[in-house]
Structure formats: structure tokens, C-alpha cells
Amino acid sequence: MSEFDFDLFVIGGGSGGVRAARVAAGETGAKVGLAEEDRYGGTCVIRGCVPKKLMVFASTYGDMAEDAQAYGWDMTAGDFNWDTFHGKLAGELDRLEGIYRKLLAGSGVETFDQRAKVVDAHTVELADGTRKSAKQILLAMGGRVSVPEFPGSDLAITSNEIFHLPELPKSILIVGGGYIACEFAGIMNGLGVKTTQFYRGAQILRGFDDEARGLVAEEMIQRGVDLHLGTNVLEMEKVEGGIRVKATNGTEHVFDQVMYATGRVPNTDDMGLEEVGVKLGRKGEVLVDDYSQTAVPSIYAVGDVTDRVNLTPVAIREGMAFVSTVFRGEPMKVDHELIPSAIFTQPEMGTIGLSEEDAAAQEPIEVYSTSFKPMQQSFAGRSDRVLMKLIVSQASRKVLGCHIVAPGAGEMIQLAGIAVKMGATKEDFDRVVAVHPVMAEELVTMRNPTRTA
């Protein structure tokens, strides 16, 4: 009989927490409790990746209908009905949350639908005052959106609200130049909303390959997003017919809605963490070692709350590695190098490894890059362009980075990512026979470097 109520108590029912809880309980026989104050599934399932991707799909059918005409189909798209889509979306999220709850119950995890905080190295307190002791505590509270404060900032919505608007706005201003801002600019534009985007810097998607983000920006503008670079909001006020926005570029416009996507912060406020000795970083993130262990040996943390690489599959791996280390006695570090990822802008971007700029700062490189009009869209009369790009080390010949801007780039980078992760050289890519006619065949047919650096 253990001296604790649980072997493991997990705080947070998102991707990382749920995976760790159900593997620890279901596969190692640990007695596991989990507390979640909101809906099970976390940011990814409830207010992130999943509903976002469904909205991306919804937003592409208008163009598809136009292209179908060019291919000889007698059809017109008509109007997008937000109520129809929104009702289905809500039902889908309910279904997915149900699956998460079932998975937890099926593995024997005891769940508590309330907030929990840490009171000492082995105790958590639930919102109703009940205390539970546990040999290990796993912090998996994720993150939340962060909106800067300025006059009228409370009028802004965020990615939390965008999925639940009572009606689709006629116009929207999206502020920010990161993943969320750029993805929603494409979604709203595709759904027929007049979309304006403000980004304070010189080019959207800071940190990604310059050529790739430049092409994404060009294509977004060409598809109708009114993108203003070097521009920020000064103040906002509610007026008849919407929100009046005064911008740093001297303009004033009224928008139906303003959505802020200016980053996310770890959910560590008022959790009792520093009081028990858990160390937090500058953004409030839980500081952990390679095994996700905090400064308190019995407390671990995984996922966005640690602000390492804020992606669902990474949180899941961190959760699995934690179970292996703590419950199977097989210490496992998570490898945070060479993680492929996709940005669901329109067009999509898939990326792994170093940008041209970062690689060139590190060592002499060759750049292989080609941009062209893809067959399917070109035939339909569109001027869309795609990009296939490899960054190659001159010394080792290894592909240091692969960047794709194209419809389906997310699917492509998952596969190209295997080769890059394995350490494939440019010559390994070249040994592969092209699949024809597909866009990605360019990745194995680029003979001469576009430039060296």
C-alpha cells in the first residue's frame, strides 16, 4: 500500500498530460489522477490545431469551385454558411473530447474536472479544496494567448473566440505575423471576409527561411489579404458598425472584428510553483532538465508550459519520455533537433532544419531552390507559385534544411523530414528517382546550386 493517494497526478488534460497519464496508467499499471479545469484535449484539440485545420479546409472550397469551372465543370460556389459549418465543428469537437475522456477512463485514470494547484512536492489541491497526494506530479497546463495592453485592447478577440463567433464578420483585422495570425488571415480571406493583417516587423513569419516566408507573404497578398508590414495598432474604440482602429501608419479604419495573435505564454500563474521551489523562466515557463524534471525532484513538466518547442507532437513525445524515465526506469531524453513542422497558411509551408540565413551563418552552404507555377492551378488560370528548397552543407553534403511552400507542403515535409533527420546528403536525394508529375519531384531533380553562401 503506497503512502500516496496516487503514483502520478497530472495537472492539465491536453496532448502532453493525457498521453503521459494514459500510458503511465494503462501500460505501467501506475495509479494516476488527472485534473483539467476546461475541456479535455487541450489547446490542440479544442481551440487550436484541429478546429483551425477544419477551418482551413472550409476556406479552400470557394477557390476549388472556381478552379472546377476552369476544368470544365458547370458549377458555382454560392455563399459560405457559417452556421452550418459552425454547428458541425462544435459537434466534432464534442466527439473528440469524448474520445479523450474515454481513453483516460479506459486506461484507469481518475479524472477531476476542476483546477488544481501544487501545495508541496507531493500534494495538489483541487478547486473544491480537496487535497491529493502523489509520488510524482506532472505539470502539463499548456499555454494561453497573450494580448498587449493598450487603449481598447479589451475589444480584441483571440484564437480562443474565433471558432465560436455568433456570425462571420464582414471585415476583420488580424494583428501579428506568427503562425496563428498568418493562418487565420488565410482562413478568413478564403471564407470571404475582407481581411487586413498588421505586422510590426519587416516580414511575416520571423525566424523561418526568408525566401519561403517572402513567397508566402506574396501569395497571401495576391489572394486578397491586405497585409501591412511595419504597422501596429495604437488604439481601438467601439463605434457604430464595429471597432475603429488607429494605426501607427497614420490610418484609421473600422473593422467588424479585430483578432490578436501576438503570442502565447505558459499557464503558470497562481499555481503555487515558485512557493514549492519549482523554478520559472522569464516568460513564466517551467524550467526543466533534459528529462523534463523541474528543480523539485518529484515534479516534472511537459508541453507548452515548458516553452521548449510548442507543438503537440513534441508535447506527446515529452509525455512518453517522462513515463519511460520515471515509470519504466528507462531514462529517455526528448530529441528537440530537426523537428519538421507545417504552417497552414495559404499556400502552406512545410519546413525542417536550418533556414538559408541560419545555415550560412554557421558554415559554407549550397542553396538549391526552384519556384514555379504548379500544374493544377496553372491550368485553372491561376498565377500561384510554389517553392522547393534545399540547404546543403558544402563540407558534409548533408541537407541542413528543407523548405517547401506549396499546397500539401505539410504532407510533403513529413516524408522529406525522415531523410533529413537520417542525415541524408544532397547526393542521397539525387539517387532517388523522381515521381512524375508531382511538385515534390523537384526535390530530387535540382542539379546545380542556385547560389552558394
Residues that bind ligand NDP (CB under 6 A): 148, 175-181, 183, 199-201, 206, 232, 261-264, 310-311, 341-344
Minimum distance from residue 10 beta carbon to ligand NDP (Å): 21
Cell of 178: 506568427
Cis amide prior to 449 (ω within 30 degrees):
no
Strands 32-35 and 6-11 come out as parallel
Cβ partners under 8 Å of residue 363, min gap 6: 393, 394, 395
Taking the C-alpha atoms of residue 182 and residue 225, their distance in angstroms, rounded to an integer, is 10
Task: Please say if 336 is a catalytic residue.
Answer: no
Cβ partners under 8 Å of residue 64, min gap 6: none
Minimum distance from residue 317 beta carbon to ligand NDP (Å): 15
Minimum distance from residue 312 beta carbon to ligand NDP (Å): 8
Return the number of the residue (201 or 297) whose C-beta is nearest ligand NDP. 201
Give the number of other Cβ atoms within 10 Å of residue 272's Cβ. 16
Taking the C-alpha atoms of residue 232 and residue 190, their distance in angstroms, rounded to an integer, is 23
Residue 235 · residue 151 · CB < 8 Å: yes
Return the number of the residue (109 or 343) whose C-beta is nearest ligand NDP. 343
Return the number of the residue (21 or 204) whose C-beta is nearest ligand NDP. 204
Minimum distance from residue 217 beta carbon to ligand NDP (Å): 12
Residue nearest to ligand NDP as judged by C-beta position = 178
Cα angle for residues 114, 44, 225 (degrees, 5° grid) = 130
Minimum distance from residue 229 beta carbon to ligand NDP (Å): 11
Minimum distance from residue 206 beta carbon to ligand NDP (Å): 4
Output b/e per residue, 79-97; b: 16+ Cβ within 10 A: ebebeebbeebeeebeebb
- Name the residue among 169, 170, 173 with its Cα closest to residue 156: 173
Return the number of the residue (164 or 206) whose C-beta is nearest ligand NDP. 206
Return the number of the residue (82 or 199) whose C-beta is nearest ligand NDP. 199
Cell of 54: 477544419
Catalytic residue among 164, 336, 403, 436: 436
Active site residues: 436
